[in-house]
Amino acid sequence: MAVKTSREIGSWSRSILGLLLSLGVVVTIAGMSACSSNDSEGSSEGTGASGGGGGAGGGEPAGPTPYELFLKIEPDLVANCNICHKKGGSAPAPFLAGETPEERYQTITFWPGIVVNAAEQSILLTHPESANHGGGEAPRIPENVKPGVITWLTAEADGLPDSSVDIGPSVRPFRPLPGGALNTVYLDALGDDFQYMSIAFFAEALGGTSDAPTMLRLTNITVHPVVDKPLHIVHPVFTVYVPGQPGDPDPVDSFSNLDQTFTLGGDNTLGTGEVVLTNWQKGAYLGIAFELIEVYGGNAGPGTGCNDLVNFQQNVVPAMQTCMMKCHGGANPQAKGTMDLSELNAMMPTAACQEVRARIKPGDPAASQILQVTDPVQPIVHMYKFDGDLNAYNAFKTKVEPWIMAEQQ
């Protein structure tokens, strides 16, 4: 990914940038590094590279590399999990595909949800704890192996900003039923608010030969929210996952301009309702990532409330007494619909806190929407950017960051 000058970026469509951002690609804008280097993670970003090598990156301080840490627990994972999670295993999730530890390393580190910012939230650790894992037949990670897994995943998480593993909110990849069959993807994994919501489509593999198709055509793509919970989707990206390779987003980014809200009983066709993925391969998995996906007005279920309301009240509320409050508080109906701050100044700003929390990535200020869209130097379309005042933006950032960190449990 070449580093672009600000002028070139300006002429790019907003959507491509959105995609890059949602892919976690770091775009360095010439002469504007003051802000991006100010990020609290203190990592050495700014190469503009889209990663792709999950392996041991150079320049790491002494100590074992993430790959070396993986090698320590790899035999245990293979012993306990491989039978179902190898390529062609009975589980629909071949995150251990590969003949060698090195190949398995590639697969597992690219599998969405495994390498994440907070190691203990990795599906590798959380999923096997569920009583339903593999229909109740599948094992957990043995207790004596868990510490090694956490050490490894933590080391991987430290390297995250440099890789392209993190595609933003996305549904787990699945194997679509081709041949014109109806596929239904449930959105539950995105959070409690999304329970019972789904996206459905017909899938047909095309091109090449039937043994080696080169395209996947999805038709009649429809979105199914539930009653009283409008679902807002911005820029969905269908992504092809070939085991052992990084996710490969729709090459033409078919839905780059999509911004749609779905209600039960309303028109539920996603954009044109159709996409042709020209990067398809036999045996690949399909995932869907979103620049933004949110439930409006949903009575937020357990888990989506704020963890640190006091911190929010003390730091974020005063910092938002600007145009933000005016626009999102009601003056601008569209802004209010997007993030409702009408109760920001309530005695207990629980509702406003939830609204804002839906637009941050807990524990990761740099990836938080409220800091991205208001950043005067980020070319994301948003009406309010502190009138271009970088100092004002930075002051806002300083106030909001501790709360964003505190929201990470």
> Residue 361: how many CB atoms within 10 A of its CB?
20
Which residue in 128, 148, 376, 402 binds ligand HEC (CB under 6 A)?
A: 128
402 binds ligand HEC (CB under 6 A): no
- Considering only 10, 53, 139, 305, the residue that binds ligand HEC (CB under 6 A) is 139
Distance CA 274, CA 69 (A): 43
289 touches ligand HEC by CB under 6 A: no
What's the CA gap between 360 and 355, in Å, rounded?
A: 10
The amino acid occupying position 239 is: T
229 counts as binding ligand HEC under rule CB under 6 A: no
Residue 74's Cβ-count burial label (10 Å; 0-12, 13-18, 19+) is: buried
- Residue number with CB closer to ligand HEC (147 or 251): 147
* Pairwise CA distance, residues 245 & 87, whole Å: 13
From residue 104 to residue 123, the character string flagging contacts with ligand HEC as x (rule: CB under 6 A) and all else as - is ---------x---------x
End-to-end CA distance of the chain: 34
Q: Which is nearer to ligand HEC, 141 or 323 (CB)?
A: 141
Given the complex with ligand HEC, which of 31 and 136 has the nearer CB atom? 136
Contacts to ligand HEC from residues 149-208, by CB under 6 A:
172
Distances in Å between the Cα of 244 and the Cα atoms of 53, 69, 95, 110, 157 are: 11, 19, 8, 7, 19
Q: Which is nearer to ligand HEC, 86 or 235 (CB)?
A: 86
Smallest gap from residue 89 Cβ to ligand HEC (A):
7
Provide CB contacts within 8 A for 346, sequence distance 6+. Answer: 352
Cβ pair 261, 23 in contact under 8 A: no
Please give the radius of gyration of the chain, using alpha carbons only, rounded to the nearest integer: 22
Nearer to ligand HEC, 124 or 327 (CB): 124
380 sits near ligand HEC (criterion: CB under 6 A)? no
Please calculate the CA angle 211-213-214 and round it to the nearest 5 degrees. 150
Residue 172 vs 385, nearer CB to ligand HEC: 172
Taking residues 64 to 93 in sequence order and writing x for each that binds ligand HEC by CB under 6 A, - otherwise, the string is: ----------------xx-xxx----xxxx
Does residue number 138 form part of the binding site for ligand HEC (CB under 6 A)?
yes
Name the residues that contact ligand HEC, by CB under 6 A: 80-81, 83-85, 90-93, 113, 123-124, 127-128, 132-134, 137-139, 141, 172
